[in-house]
Amino acid sequence: MRDNVDEKLVKHVQDLLLSVGEDPNREGLLRTPDRFLKAFQFFTQGYEKSVDSVINGALFEAPYSEMVIVKNIELYSLCEHHLVPFFGKCHVGYIPQGRVIGLSKIPRIVEVFARRLQVQERLTSQIADCLMNKLNPSGVGVVIEAVHLCMMMRGVEKQNSSTQTSSLLGAFREPATRAEFFNLIK
């Protein structure tokens, strides 16, 4: 499916269009199966990326030992239960122990995990666990604030609801560090 659009998959999308009462041969829908499959490949491109290739050696020795925060990282993902988007912002903090990561690598790591079928809770933990394993910092904190179209467009249909999740590891579990992190990401 990744490089060439599989004709069986095109047929499945055409069948899906038929099942909702549409005509897949209608002018506006003729190329929809191909476009949908290419879009779905893009939405799930995180499966094709490894964290190591994203980091690409951008770990640097540094004597810095204070909190580093990258906040308001936009993320887009698909709910694994309904294949409907959820999106929002991710805030990431860590306390180095002699080693820092290139700042642009943090949003790229978020993207690797977000561009997979997800639940927000697991996404939050995957980002935190990854940074803890790759950097060996004294602690990592990750907070995600997102809205879920599966809650807004279907089901409970609550337009103004949002979900916040956090994963706090190491020093970020200590009350003072936790408070500092949450204060800085406000």
Kindly report the CATH number assigned to the domain that includes residue 18. 1.10.286.10
Positions marked catalytic: 79-82, 120, 148, 150
Instruction: Identify whether residues 99 and 126 lie together within a single domain.
Output: yes
Host domain of residue 73: 50-184
Q: Is residue 131 part of a domain?
A: yes
Residues 94-99: what's their mean pLDDT? Answer: 96
120-149, pLDDT tens digit by residue? 999 999 999 999 999 999 999 999 999 999
Task: Compute the chain's Rg from CA coordinates.
Answer: 20
For the record, the structure tokens of 174 come out as 């200590």
The CATH number given to whatever domain includes residue 176 is 3.30.1130.10
Average pLDDT rounded to a whole number, residues 59-67: 96
Number of structural domains (the chain) is 2
- Looking at residue 5, its pLDDT comes to 63
Residues paired with residue 139 on neighbouring β-strands, in sequence order: 95, 170
- Per the prediction, the chain carries an average pLDDT of 95
Kindly state whether residues 117 and 179 are assigned to the same domain.
yes
**AA letter at 147:** V
Q: What band does 73 get if pLDDT is binned at 50, 70 and 90?
A: very high
Q: Are residues 11 and 29 in the same domain?
A: yes
Judge whether 123 lies within some domain.
Answer: yes
Closest by CA to 76, choosing from 46, 106, 37, is 46
Is residue 1 in some structural domain? no
Tell me: the pLDDT tens digits for 1-40?
A: 444 568 999 999 999 999 999 999 999 999 999 999 999 9
* Average confidence (pLDDT) over 165-180: 98
